[in-house]
Amino acid sequence: MSDNLDEAKVFYIDVAGKPPVRIEVGFGDFHGFNLAYHVGTPITLTGNISERNGRLVLTKVTELKSVFGKSKPGKANG
């Protein structure tokens, strides 16, 4: 998550060996993939990426897989 209050809904994801990727997705993706639940845990995230001001920005999530298990909290085998 960004520490800047003007970016309260903006997240960043660490990518091994690369600069962090900024995540700016709509409410549907944020809620549907429960991004806040996965903060601080290793995941595999797939989606649409663009470059803005020299930084990669994820604008659409198409798949999220937790490295350690629950991708969809509250669901069996999530």
Q: Give tens-digit pLDDT for 36-70.
A: 888 888 888 899 999 999 999 999 999 998 888 76
Element (H, E) at 65: strand 55-66
- Does residue 78 have a pLDDT over 50? no
Query: Distance between CA 41 and CA 18 in Å, rounded?
Result: 18
Instruction: Evaluate if residue 8 carries a pLDDT over 80.
Output: no
Q: Which among 32, 36, 57 is positioned nearest to 47, based on CA atoms?
A: 57
The whole model's pTM is what? 0.72
Q: Per the structure block, which two tokens stand in for 19?
A: 């600069």
d(CA 21, CA 35): 14
- Nearest CA to 28 among 67, 70, 66, 60? 60
Average pLDDT for 6-21: 83
Between the alpha carbon of residue 33 and those of residues 6, 23, 53, the distances in Å are 23, 13, 27
- Residue 73 has a pLDDT of 57
